[in-house]
Amino acid sequence: MTQESPISFGVLLLSDYQVLDSIGPIDLIYNITSSFVTAACPSPAIAAKAPHITFHFISHSLSPMQPAGGPLQTPTCTYTTCPKLDYLLIPGQDPIAPLEPGVKEFLLERYDEVESVLTVCTGSLVLAKAGLLEGRSAMTNRVSLAMMARLGVVPKGVKWQLKGRWTVDGKVWSSAGITAGMDMTAEWMLERFDREVVEWSWELGEFEPRPKEWAKFDYILEGIEL
């Protein structure tokens, strides 16, 4: 994908999703878009390298969706009207909630289409329930994974990673709990977009991403049998 090509970025809105799972990565990515950088960055050379990105907020209908906390989010398209996507972000929801109608079909239809799927927190469980993490390495929220292990409802066939901040397996990027999604997204941005643009956006936001190996919360899953 060339820098000039318009990028279509989808965000899946499910019932009671964790708002920071979505808003954190979206804000990081928005801050490197051409429209934002051109208006905010004093360097024309940096602005010239910023990508053109359009966000699509996807749900079962166009009715406002209520996250677990925070304001309503209005979808811009439905599973059936969503345009072609280059990337898809899946924020997490209740880890033991069943898949909502239409979600599995949408993910199965779009999985091969996108270049990357980014899941934050329990968003990886949505992919797992759709059968798209079979045999893959993935991460999810540690507290949720420990709870599911005690209940005996951990999705099988997934190589759940217990240490670190995020993991990558093929096109699937998955992070641990909530704020780990921003650290994961930061690395994903560096791999796909101009480093000078990305680092300028971090300077603007006074943001310093933690490394993949950051281990402060690894203890949560010590002794847990999956």
2 lies in a domain?
Answer: no
CATH, residue 129: 3.40.50.880
What token pair was written down for 192?
A: 């796909």
Give the three-class secondary structure for 72. Answer: coil
Pull the structure tokens for residue 223: 């002794």
Average pLDDT by consecutive 10-residue portion of the chain (226 residues)?
75 96 97 97 97 98 94 97 98 95 98 98 98 98 97 96 97 98 98 98 97 97 92
- What confidence score (pLDDT) does residue 4 get? 64
Alpha carbon distance 212, 193 (integer Å):
19
Domain presence at residue 207: yes
Looking at the domain assignment, is residue 1 inside a domain? no
**Tally of domains within the chain:** 1
Domain that holds residue 194: 7-221
Quick check: is 178 in a domain?
Answer: yes
The bridge status of strand 87-90 relative to strand 77-78 is unpaired
Report how far residue 196's alpha carbon sits from residue 205's, in angstroms, rounded to the nearest whole number: 14
3-state secondary structure 84-153: CCCEEEECCCCCCCCCCCCHHHHHHHHCCCCCEEEECCCHHHHHHHCCCCCCCEECCCHHHHHHHHHHCC
Residue 102 in any domain: the answer is: yes
Output the DSSP codes for 191-214. Answer: HHS-HHHHHHHHHHHT--PPPTT-
- Asked if the structure places residue 226 within a domain, the reply is no
Token pair 């053109």 in the structure block, residue = 52
Look at residue 2 in the predicted model and tell me its pLDDT. 39
Q: Is the dihedral of CA 217, 218, 223, 225 positive or negative?
A: positive
* 137 phi/psi in degrees, rounded to 5: -80, 140
Residue 29 included in any domain: yes
pLDDT given for residue 226 in this prediction: 87
Backbone angles phi, psi at 147, to 5 degrees: -65, -45
Q: Is residue 149 part of a domain?
A: yes
Question: Given this model, what pLDDT does residue 1 score?
Answer: 40
- The pTM of this model reads 0.95
At residue 173, the 3 state secondary structure works out as strand
